[in-house]
Homo-oligomer: A and B are copies of this chain.
């Protein structure tokens, strides 16, 4: 084992830089060189490599984003493109590849492994946290903090003006970010892709009216996962405004959720997973994700990470539904 390559792929996630640092510093002690390709899989195909030395890693852990740059690259599903990547890796003398990214990136990693005989290891880095086999992915915790910090600010103006806000959080097809944000922000309602059936417009409107009746001066916050309601957050706000005759303000949080200094938890997770990825390679693993489950580092077949749906923690879902709006929706049980 002389040279390991690393890429960051798909949507960037805070903590990716700390992960690369752990990879580089660990490999260096083992006498292994690390090379990074910029812009994920596309960078492999285009040969955009750069050697990375521990000296370069002194001050990267606290930075958001990824200094290696990332990219979405759907073309990598094609066999000819993956073969090109395999040839480039061979030409560069790479003995193993570490892919830090989400489910699309892991499909790419697995696809590559059909055409490249060397070891491929995935490290979960996605604010969506939707990879099966790991409790958490790098960037998720920071994204939740980013969202909640923004919602806390919105809560202050909402409270001052007695307003209803519909706040759209990221998550594409997964409600992890929405669920954690809703609990932490003590939201009055949440709408996540995994909830079945979704609350009806009528129920939501009733709830808002009840809240307004009980707390005419108060704020009301709905957390909505993106891509969920017809017309998104603007559609829902309009529907609810009509149904309740109370102005409901749409507020998409947008890309600030993705950026920013990684919090301590993400840096620590990233450091653990980075070091463990080198260990896994040295012990011969391939086509595996290095994840974190029940407070321990685990290895999971990479095909399992994206082929099975990862459910929300039902106890957290129940927790939020049980506590949200308890003071205007239910009677004291006694």
Contact = CB atoms under 8 A, between A and B. Distances in A.
Contact of A156 (B21, B64, B327, B330): B64
Contact of A260 (B39, B57, B156, B319): B156
A104 to B, nearest CB: 14
Nearest to A135: B295
A322 to B, nearest CB: 7
A106 interface: no
Contacts of A159: 59, 65, 69
Given A267-B183, A275-B323, A152 B62 contact: yes
A252 B249 contact: no
Interface stretch (A86-94, A143-151, A200-208, A300-308): A143-151
A61 interface: yes
A22 B322 CA distance: 10
Interface stretch (A27-35, A76-84, A110-118): A27-35
A75 interface: no
A119 interface: no
A327 B63 contact: no
B11 A161 contact: yes
A58 interface: yes
B271 A323 contact: yes
A266 to B, nearest CB: 9
Given A69-B162, A254-B251, A145 B263 contact: yes
B157 A58 contact: no
A277 to B, nearest CB: 13
Given A31-B332, A58-B215, A162-B69, A157 B267 contact: no
Contact of A153 (B154, B156, B259, B330): B259
A70 B160 contact: yes
Given A25-B326, A254-B251, A264 B181 contact: yes
A71 interface: yes
A217 interface: yes
A129 interface: no
Given A265-B141, A294-B294, A157 B271 contact: no
Given A159-B59, A261-B152, A272-B319, A327 B28 contact: yes
Per CB-CB distance, the 7 closest pairs between chain A and chain B, nearest first, are A31-B334, A153-B259, A31-B333, A65-B160, A12-B160, A54-B327, A184-B264
Given A2-B334, A71-B162, 17 more contacts: A12-B156, A12-B161, A14-B156, A25-B323, A28-B327, A38-B217, A61-B185, A63-B156, A144-B264, A148-B267, A152-B261, A153-B259, A157-B255, A183-B271, A184-B264, A252-B254, A294-B294
6 contacts: A55-B215, A59-B186, A141-B265, A155-B259, A184-B264, A271-B319
Interface of A: 2, 8, 11-12, 14, 18, 21-22, 25-26, 28-33, 38-39, 53-55, 57-59, 61-66, 69-72, 135, 141, 144-150, 152-162, 165, 180-181, 183-186, 215, 217-218, 249, 251-256, 258-261, 263-265, 267-268, 271-272, 275, 293-295, 297, 315-316, 319, 322-323, 326-327, 330, 332-334
